[in-house]
Structure 1
Amino acid sequence: MAQENYNVIGVMSGTSLDGVDLAHLHFSVSDGKWTFEIVECETVAYPDDWVSRLQSAVDFDEKALQKLNADYTQLLADVIAGFISKHRIENLNAVCSHGHTILHQPHNGFTLQIGNLPEIATLTHQKVVCDFRVQDVRLGGQGAPLVPIGDRILFADFDYCLNLGGFSNVSFEDNGRRIAFDISAVNTVLNFYANQLGLPYDNQGKIARSGTSDADLLLALNVLDFYQKPFPKSLGFEYVKQTILPLMERHPLATEDKMRTFTEHIAYQIAQALPKKSGKLLVTGGGAYNDFLVQKIQSHLPQMQIVVPEKKILEFKEALIFGLLGVLKLRNETNVLASVTGAAHDHSSGVIFN
């Protein structure tokens, strides 16, 4: 009989580069129904030199990427080991780690998440389940998003699950199929402009709120080809660097006005992406703290009940779900849905290092 209770750590590093999210998790399954508890959780911020290195890595050559991967695996192992020691966590079934996305080019059959080298198991002295995206890309999928199966299993009470991180993505049920896709860039762009003002991010969206939306820039953003593509579809930082930022920079606007316009753009695209404009919408990720953005989403979706959950779920939902993906891999059960990624079939993705 398959094990019914699991004691794991979920580890996630997002494109917004705010740090490594770690969550100590308890999962239980009974008669096919899963429950969870988030015990301890924290975000360990990246040192400034690592933020700069990770931001630049999209332009690294192969040798530099290999060095980065080795160094990051050591860094991530130190962070994980520190979390285990600090909270005196014992008897883990596994550490379930996403790693950090550097390159994501599914159209070229390629995706790279660093920090998933076999050495991570040796360095942490734990069984590690990781590298969840590569197999899906090999099967013709986007390798993203991977969170939707967790939405289906753990958050079925909601009509929509929306994540506002470096990018926005949504998942929902449609005639018995889970549908999910990336919608637009979010904090990858907003943080870029906040950084220009000497700030790590726009606290509660106050800077964007103070700006004025520019109709020409808003139109130019809204007619980008990506929004016309059918799902499954996903975005990477390359798209921000090659398409979004050059477009924004062609408009000579104050930084506050660019941030206001882009916030309007995010909210509009989210509303466009949801086929049904009413129901319950769960909003998580760092962008859920952006009050101005959430208000703008609500203004575009007046019939929608928007739910921002308690802090542990809001901030650590992705770490929670990657913990679940790891557990499903340990059970050799499906943890990636072809309806979401476009892969040839559902599959149990990831590698296990002992």
Structure 2
Amino acid sequence: MSQYKVIGVMSGTSLDGIDLAYIHFEKTTHWKFEILVAETIPYDGTLEEQLREAIHYDAEELKQFDTVYTGFLAIKIRTFIEKHNIKDLDAVCSHGHTILHQPEKGITYQIGNLPGLGILLQNHVKTVVCDFRVQDVALGGQGAPLVPIGDELLFSEYDYCLNLGGFANISYHKEGKRVAYDICPVNIVLNKYAKQLGFDYDDKGKLARSGEYLLSLGSELDNLSYYKQLPPKSLGLEWVQKEIFPRLEAFKRKEIDLLRTFTEHVAMQLARNFKIRSKVLVTGGGAYNDYLLERIKYYKELNLVKPVDELIEYKEALIFGFLGVLRLRDEVNCLKSVTGAIKDHSSGKVYNFG
């Protein structure tokens, strides 16, 4: 089989909602894709708050919430299929939502990946591929980032692929292998302070642009030990809650100044990771933050390429759809050079019905 029509499903740490993309993949001499239809389903305030707080749930509460979230996800996927009258569908490929990510302890937990997802969708699709991270952690890897195999096979014309979501992650080819890692938090922090100012996010970076840079805070952030670590490495909400938010709150300064300072911090950290005059594909919600992109180019001369909006917004959903296709073909979708696992492997649970 060389053609697949799948739905990729992604919920990121920035909590802006569930991304769904219906994609056609075709394998000839190389992989090609077309996003046929895509949309983001925002979370309501209650569910968003539960997702934010779930890191503090005990085991039983988390188990119950996983069941609730799996049911919620199934309803949203089913509605998407019916709304767009999707008949030709080989699989739903879903990331779920990360609650715990502590690979150094052998822990990663994405809710929404229970067998119930497949059961609830079986009248609309016969195959569900999900829970892509657990196997990699069991093999000694970081369980992240998983997108680089898509960068390698779908976007090889760029020197670097940069995703600006809840976290910034980078992927590039070096000495015959794909290297990728999380650089720093982005929207998981910026959105928090934009919300405190009455906005869902910092539109085009206008808020940060009008703030004041706090030199001592910027210096403290730049000296965090994570930035000195060599890859493979990855970040999670727990790290942000421990290392970032307390430092920002301790300064007791206006949200607008914290936004400016953290945006500057992100720009500096990102610029350090690129070679001068490189061609960089920029996707994720942060690609719309004009001020952030300006500041990155202030620190280093780069060709930052913003693709069509569809790709900016749905690249991760696209690639999780692709990870599912590779899993169905039993081909490598998780690279040891990226995650630090003991071997390349084909990751993801497959639920078949019918």
Q: How does 1:178-327 map to 2 (within 5 A)?
A: 178-274=178-274, 276-302=275-301, 304-327=302-325
Any idea what the Cα deviations from partners look like across 1:203-252, whole Å, max 9, x if unmatched? Answer: 11111000011110000000000000010000000111111000111112
Pick which of 192-201 and 14-23 moved more.
192-201
Which amino acid counterpart does residue 68 of structure 1 have in structure 2?
F
Which amino acid counterpart does residue 315 of structure 2 have in structure 1?
K
Any idea what the Cα deviations from partners look like across 1:284-325, whole Å, max 9, x if unmatched? Answer: 0001111111111111122x1110110110000000000000
User: In 1, distance between residues paired with 2:57 and 2:276?
Assistant: 42
- The ranges of structure 1 where at least 4 consecutive aligned residues each deviate by more than 2 angstroms after the TM superposition are none
Structure 1: any 5+ residue segments left out of the alignment?
none
User: In 2, distance between residues paired with 1:298 and 1:45?
Assistant: 32
User: In 1, distance between residues paired with 2:188 and 2:17?
Assistant: 14
Deviation at 1:186, TM superposition (A): 0.3
Deviation at 1:91, TM superposition (A): 2.5
What is the match of residue 348 of structure 2? 350
TM-score calculated relative to the size of structure 2: 0.98
Work out whether 1:130 is the aligned partner of 2:130: yes
What is the match of residue 64 of structure 2? 67
Work out whether 1:24 is the aligned partner of 2:22: yes
Structure 2: any 5+ residue segments left out of the alignment?
none
What is the match of residue 148 of structure 2? 148
User: In 2, distance between residues paired with 1:67 and 1:289?
Assistant: 36
User: In 2, distance between residues paired with 1:111 and 1:260?
Assistant: 32
CA RMSD of aligned residues (A): 0.7
TM-score calculated relative to the size of structure 1: 0.98
Work out whether 1:52 is the aligned partner of 2:49: yes
Secondary structure, aligned partner of 1:273: coil
% identity of equivalent residues: 54
Which amino acid counterpart does residue 263 of structure 2 have in structure 1?
T
User: In 1, distance between residues paired with 2:239 and 2:199?
Assistant: 23
Picking from 331, 335, 351, the partner of 1:333 is 331
User: In 1, distance between residues paired with 2:195 and 2:189?
Assistant: 10
Which amino acid counterpart does residue 74 of structure 1 have in structure 2?
G
Which amino acid counterpart does residue 122 of structure 1 have in structure 2?
I
Which amino acid counterpart does residue 289 of structure 1 have in structure 2?
Y
User: In 1, distance between residues paired with 2:235 and 2:331?
Assistant: 27
What is the match of residue 77 of structure 1? 74
Deviation at 1:194, TM superposition (A): 1.0
Which amino acid counterpart does residue 231 of structure 1 have in structure 2?
P
Work out whether 1:42 is the aligned partner of 2:39: yes
User: In 2, distance between residues paired with 1:62 and 1:199?
Assistant: 34
Number of equivalenced pairs: 349
Secondary structure, aligned partner of 2:35: strand
User: In 2, distance between residues paired with 1:348 and 1:107?
Assistant: 21
Picking from 4, 7, 18, the partner of 2:5 is 7
User: In 1, distance between residues paired with 2:23 and 2:8?
Assistant: 7
User: In 1, distance between residues paired with 2:121 and 2:276?
Assistant: 46
Secondary structure, aligned partner of 1:327: helix
Is the contact made by 1:271 and 1:277 (CA closer than 8 Å) also made in structure 2? no
User: In 2, distance between residues paired with 1:89 and 1:12?
Assistant: 19
Deviation at 1:44, TM superposition (A): 0.4
Pick which of 143-152 and 248-257 moved more.
248-257
Is the contact made by 1:135 and 1:350 (CA closer than 8 Å) also made in structure 2? yes
Deviation at 1:124, TM superposition (A): 1.1
User: In 1, distance between residues paired with 2:200 and 2:47?
Assistant: 14
Deviation at 1:197, TM superposition (A): 1.2
User: In 2, distance between residues paired with 1:21 and 1:299?
Assistant: 32
Any idea what the Cα deviations from partners look like across 1:90-146, whole Å, max 9, x if unmatched? Answer: 121100000000000000000000000001011112210000000000000000000
Any idea what the Cα deviations from partners look like across 1:143-175, whole Å, max 9, x if unmatched? Answer: 000000000100011000000000000000001
Which amino acid counterpart does residue 36 of structure 1 have in structure 2?
F
Any idea what the Cα deviations from partners look like across 1:45-92, whole Å, max 9, x if unmatched? Answer: 011100010000111100110011000000000000000000010121
Pick which of 232-241 and 197-206 moved more.
197-206
